[in-house]
Amino acid sequence: MIYLDHHATTPVDARVLEAMLPFFTEKFGNAASRQHRFGWDANDAVERARKQVAALIGASSKEIVFTSGATEANNLGIKGVARAAETARATDGTESSDVRRDHIVTIATEHKAVLDPIGRLKQDGWRVTVLPVKHDGLVDVNVVADAVTDRTLVVSVMAANNEIGVLQPIKDLAAVAHAKGALFHTDAVQAAGKVPFDVEALGVDLASLTAHKIYGPKGVGALYVRKRTAIAAQIEGGGHERGMRSGTLNVPGIVGFGRAAEIARAEMASESARVAAVRDRLLSRLKELTGGMTVNGTMTSRLPGNLNVSFDGVDGEALLVGLDDIAVSSGAACTQAEPSHVLMALGHPKDRALASLRFGIGRGTTMDEIDRAASKVQDVVARLRKQDVRRATALGVAEGK
C-alpha cells in the first residue's frame, strides 16, 4: 500500500525511536523526581529536548511548554490567554469598554482544534470574528487589519493549512495584531520542521507544535509562549511546566520530539526540495492523465509536500473506496464524514468538496509510488465517470427523455 497521508501523521523515524527506547526501560525515571539519579537523568533528557524543539523555531528553551499534542497546545494558547485576561480584569477592576479586551479574531479555514476552543469562549461571552479567505485559500491582510480593534486580545491564524497546504503571511498578520496591542497565535503544526519558521523573525507570541507530523511519536506536543505573555493553566495539579501545564511528563515522547525536531532542522532544506519535486511530479502526472481536475489552494505559497485536488463528476465516497491501495484522505483526519469546511470556505460546492483528495507526500515517498498512485487515480476516476454517465442515461430512458 502506498502511504500518501503524511499530513495526518508520519511514521516514527528510526533515529527518533532509537533515542526514545532507553527511556522506556533503563532510564525510566519521573522527570519531577529530583531526589535521585533516575529523576535527574529524566529531567536532563527533557531539558535537552526542550532546547532541540526551541532551536527548531528560533525560541528560548524557557519558552517551550510540553503538552499532549497540538490540540492541547491550541487550547492552552487560546483559552490560556483568555482566562488570564479574565483573571486580570477581575483583579484590577478594568471593566470599562475602552480597555477591556474581550475579542478574538480567526479565519474560516482553521483546524477544529482552534475553531472549537474559540467557539467555547464565544459561548462564555467572548466576541469572536471568523474571517473569510480568498478563493486561493489566503486571507487578505487588510481584511484582518479592519477586524482587529483595541478590544482584540488575540488573533489566531494557522501558519500552514493542514488540508490545502497554503502558507499564510504570518509576519504581516502578527504585525497587524501587534499594531492594536493584541497577541498573535498560530497553529504551526504543519509548518514547523517543513518550511522555515522562526518565532522571532515572524513576531509570533504563541505557537502550537506537535511531534507526530515531523516523524516523532504521537501524544506529545508543545506550546511556544513568548516571555512575559500571561497565560492561565488549563490543567492543574502539581505546577509542572512552570505552572502552565500540570501532569507527569511523557519523557520518552518528549525525547522523541526533541530528536525529531533536531533532524528536521538539519535536513529541512534538502528534504523540502526533494518532497516538492515529488509533489510536482504528482501534479504533472494527474494533469496529464485526468481531466476535469481542480487544484485547491494557491501553488505559489504552499507546503512542499501538499497537493489537494477535486474531480468533477465523481462521487467522493466511491473515489476513496476505489483507491483501496493508496492511503489518502478527503480532508482532515478528524472530519471525514462531512465535506471539508476548508474547501467550502474556498467557495467550492458540496459535491466538489466531497470529491477531493489530499495528498501528503513525505520523507519516504518515491517517484515510482507517485507514478503508480497517479495511474490508479486515473483509472478510478475514469471508471466512476463512466458509471455516472450510464446512470444518467438509464435515468433519462426511464423518464422518457
DSSP state of 62: G
Q: Residue 32's CB: how many other CB atoms inside 10 A? A: 15
Active-site residue flag, 334? yes
Grid coordinates representing 74? 491550541
Q: Which single residue is written with the C-alpha cell 502539581?
A: 238
The distance in angstroms from the start CA to the end CA of the chain is: 44
Distances (CA, A) of 153 to 159, 182, 209, 224: 19, 5, 21, 17
Exactly one of 90, 334, 392, 395 is catalytic; which is it? Answer: 334
β-pairing verdict for 152-156 and 103-107: parallel
Residue 360 DSSP SS3: strand
Distances (CA, A) of 315 to 75, 189, 252, 383: 35, 31, 43, 11
Grid coordinates representing 341? 469546511
> What's the CA gap between 275 and 75, in Å, rounded?
31
CA–centroid distance for 177 within its chain: 21
Grid coordinates representing 163? 488540508
Sequence-ordered list of residues with C-beta below 8 angstroms from that of 346, at least 6 positions apart, any chain: 109, 133, 135, 136, 137, 164, 296, 297
Note whether 298 and 166 are within 8 A (CB).
yes
> What's the CA gap between 260 and 53, in Å, rounded?
9
Q: Residue 76's CB: how many other CB atoms inside 10 A? A: 28
> What's the CA gap between 397 and 217, in Å, rounded?
56
CA angle in degrees (0–180, nearest 5) for 224-74-243: 60
Identify which of 155, 144, 146 has the alpha carbon closest to the alpha carbon of residue 114.
155
CA angle in degrees (0–180, nearest 5) for 266-267-268: 105
> What's the CA gap between 399 and 131, in Å, rounded?
45
Instruction: Please give the positions annotated as active site.
Output: 334
